[in-house]
Amino acid sequence: MKKIPVLKNFVNRQQFQDDYRSMFSKLDKDIPAGIVVFLVALPLCLGIALASGAPLISGLISGIIGGVVIGYLSKSGTSISGPAASVSAVVLLAIKDLGSFQLFLGALIIAGIIQVVLGVVKAGILADYMPKSIIKGLLAGIGIILILSQLPYTIGYEFDKSKTLIYSEDYWSNVLYMLSEFLNAFTIGAIVISIISLGILIYWDKTPLKNFKLIPPALVVVILGVLLNQLFKYALPFLYLDGIHLVNIPEVDSIRTFFTFPDFTGYNKPKVWTTALTIAIIASISTLLNIEATDNIDKLKRRTPPNRELIAQGIGNTLSGFLGGIAITSVIVRSSVNIEAGAQTKLSTIIHGFLLLLSVLFLSHVLNLIPLASLAAILLVVGYKLASVSVFKNLYKRGWNQFLPFVLTVVFIVVTDVLTGVLIGSALSIFFLLRSNYYNPFYIENIKYIQDEVIKLELSNEVSFFNKASIRNTLWSVPDNSKVLIDATFTSYIDPDVIDILNDFQNTVAVDHNIDVNIIGLKDSYVLGEEIDFYKKTKAEIKAKTTPKEILEYLKEGSTTYASRNLMSRKVTSNNLMDHLNEDPLAVVVTSVDLREPLNMMLNTAIGDLVSLRSAGHILDNQSILNLEISCRDQGAKLVLFYGNSDNEVIKKALKNHLDHRASNLSLLVDDALKSTQFSNRDLKSESLDELSNEIVNFNIEKAQSDLVNNSSYFKEALSKGTVGIASAFFNRDDNTIVFSELYSVENS
């Protein structure tokens, strides 16, 4: 039986072995990072469980599963999964509507299975379409919520966690409540620890302490917080923090108190399935956004496979439902802390999960000594980095179409919830996208030819149905008696609705308004993506073409691509121009001064592949021969291509002067040809000037090849050795075809 591709990696033995080896490659980074994340995740797991209306131990169960199980199955090197504030409100309402926590666990199992299915059908692709401004808004919004929710702990007052962890709930009354309590709720000990902790975190990298890579500043802050508070206890009792100001882990008396098992009798209830679908959708969207945001701040810029992540999250939520946990997602707060602590692989995630388990079983009395002010200081710094002033400035510089969706996302995440903020910000981004498509499906200009003025409308690479209104309004606004050229030459896809508009304009509107319409490059049918023909050979493979014959074949292939109007292959392969110019050229091309078409486009070559030399009538003098020698001998070109073209106005003018017996400085371009036996015995006046000029161009090219070999010892020797080749090509402007000769043979000379 054929395996489903997305699931293949989960049963691939080699994949497991590779993951195992990579996990233990950065122990010096991952172990300290895992400890720091554990210390941050611990109170968050407890708080989110409280905010969700679930047993506190369920938050720790979810944190353990998110760290150990999802941490191993996920391909992300930095993402941390666990209970999240973004779904806590959904969990709270679900438990209330279903009437019991056990029925909720049954719904969570279904939700996990749905997530696995979403991963199998590759629904994770939705993450690729999320605008960067929305991701930045998500990060900034979470950062602001993080700062606001942690401020109470820095001054030593603990609010109701259901309000502090879901800060956007009942926003305005919550703000007023916080402000009033700030005035009379300061705890001096917490403030002292917070100030010292923030000082360490802010100035750590500006001191020699930054050289101690094995000890992250966040870990120092936690240890110092414990030591300071113990010092306060014995030396300065009025500063000592206890009770609500410290971490509080519930004790586990037996295995029965650790796990809660689901109620399987509710699978015939519609509410259970509705709850499951809601959790699956919100948890999946939250995870996709968070891994995208996490990848965005990952210092190594790794890419997390979204479909595998959905499957991993689905397995985690299914297991969480069986063991008595709450909904799990990838969590940006803990992931940010993980990155800032220096994590390199997913081992830090797994370590944090194991530490959560060990802390519950054995270390609750030690961990309960940690001041919440120390953890709050860490989260304040993380929150500021996510929502710093520079983030807002950078988005503002990108323009209103980036800044407004960003700000709207931030505002609505803070005052409502994550999902609402993202949806509203995305809606505004879509508006700007539609607006951009309205104005940019084509480029339009007035072109003045010798006799007439033509309105040219050049269609963009892809023209979708979003562009219908813009194109229709533009065409229907063309003045009467105009000449219009619609150029679809380089368009790879046009929506059928747009083609109908073009046909309607040409067959109806243009006829009624005496508009002369010419449409070029339009195909009979289009299939989306059909013409996207990426050139599969690497730059190194192209440059490895060392023989003149290989290079000539390469240019022939490029000319065929130009003739077929499919130029999406090898024009530009790097954003850095010097990457091309540092390589040796493939060929030096001798063209006529009459040729104005872009040579790289006609031969479909990359920047730097060709050296272009111009010569009127392809006449070679000593300087021209020297230039060709330098191009091949010193610059490394392996082919000299003499490139002619039809409808050569310079040659035609020289011929016309000759036939009219007028002296001209252009005579040199045709004299050798007209004195040869090929032309001297013919009645030239009776022949077509166009055809005659084409013949003379080819005659001059053949003579130039022979002159080059006869007058250059370098080329004569190079040709005999086969290190350099000479060939010719003729470009027909009528049908855009280019006819190449074979390589020049020394015997021809």
Residue 314 clears pLDDT 50, i.e. is over it: yes
Q: Go through the domains of the chain in sequence order and give each one's CATH number.
A: 5-427 (no CATH), 440-520 (3.30.750.24), 539-748 (3.40.1050.10)
Mean pLDDT of 680-687: 81
- The stretches of 69-123 forming alpha helices (DSSP H) are 71-73, 85-98, 101-120
Q: How far is CA 92 from the centre of its chain?
A: 36
Binding site feature residues: 594
173 band by pLDDT with thresholds 50, 70 and 90: low
> What is residue 112's predicted lDDT score, i.e. its pLDDT?
95
Residue 563 has pLDDT above 70, yes or no: no
More confident residue, 428 or 127: 428
| Whether pLDDT at 748 is above 70 | no
Q: 74, 290 in Cβ contact below 8 A?
A: no
- Decide the pairing of beta strands 737-740 and 725-732: antiparallel
CA distance 200 to 204: 5
pLDDT digits (tens, 9 = 90+) for 443-497: 665 655 444 678 888 887 778 777 777 788 888 888 898 888 888 877 777 888 8
List, in sequence order, the alpha helices (H) in 633-688.
649-659, 671-675, 677-680
Are 198 and 375 in contact by the 8 Å Cβ rule? The answer is no
| Nearest alpha-carbon partner for 115 in 271, 261, 278 | 278
Phi-psi region of 353 (alpha: psi -120 to 50; beta: other; left: phi over 0): alpha
- DSSP class of residue 68 equals I
Residue 432 CB-density burial (10 A; 0-12 exposed, 13-18 middle, 19+ buried): middle
Distance of alpha carbon 257 from its chain centroid, rounded? 47
Provide the residue count of the chain: 749
CA 69 to chain CA mean position, Å: 29
Whole-model pTM? 0.55
- Overall average pLDDT of the 384-399 stretch: 86
In the predicted model, what is the mean pLDDT of residues 114-123? 91
Comparing 127-136, 158-167, 283-292, 537-546, which segment has the lowest mean pLDDT?
Answer: 158-167
**What is the Cα–Cα distance from 523 to 318, expressed in whole angstroms?**
51
More confident residue, 255 or 678: 678
Examine the pLDDT at 301 and tell me if it is beyond 80: no
Report pLDDT for 674: 87
Q: How confident is the model at residue 540 (pLDDT cuts 50, 70, 90)?
A: very low
Q: Which residues are known binding-site members for Zn(2+)? A: 594
Query: Quick check: 655 and 689 in contact, CB under 8 A?
Result: yes
| Contact (CB, 8 A) for 669 and 618 | no
| 63 pLDDT above the threshold of 70 | yes
Encode pLDDT of 633-642 as tens digits: 988 899 999 9
CA dist., res. 249 & res. 185, Å (int): 24
Query: 251-283 pLDDT, tens per residue?
Result: 766 666 677 889 888 788 888 898 898 888 878
End-to-end CA distance of the chain: 67
The pairing of strands 610-614 and 462-463 is unpaired
How many other β-carbons are positioned within 10 Å of the β-carbon of residue 578?
A: 10
Instruction: Please report, rounded to a whole number, the percentage of residues in the chain having pLDDT higher than 90.
Output: 21
Strand, helix or coil for residue 487: strand
- Name the β-bridge partners of 731: 645, 738
Packing angle between helix 270-297 and helix 418-439, nearest 10 degrees? 70
**Whether residue 181 has pLDDT greater than 70:** no
The predicted model gives 95-122 an average pLDDT of 91
CA 38 from chain centre, in angstroms, equals 31
pLDDT in tens, 577-625: 444 555 788 899 999 988 888 888 788 787 778 899 998 888 999 999 9
Residue from 642, 646, 662, 643 nearest 654 by CA: 662
- Who contacts 140 (Cβ-Cβ below 8 Å, separation ≥6)? 386, 387, 391, 392, 406, 409, 410
Residue with tokens 């926003």: 171
CA atoms within 13 A on the CB side of 479: 7
**pLDDT score of 180:** 65
User: What pLDDT, on a 0 to 100 scale, did the predictor assign at position 201?
Assistant: 87
Residue type, 462: E
Residue-averaged pLDDT of the chain:
80
Task: Tell me which DSSP letter residue 747 carries.
Answer: G
Q: Which of 626, 614, 587 is nearest to 711 (CA)?
A: 626
Higher-pLDDT residue of 746, 577: 746
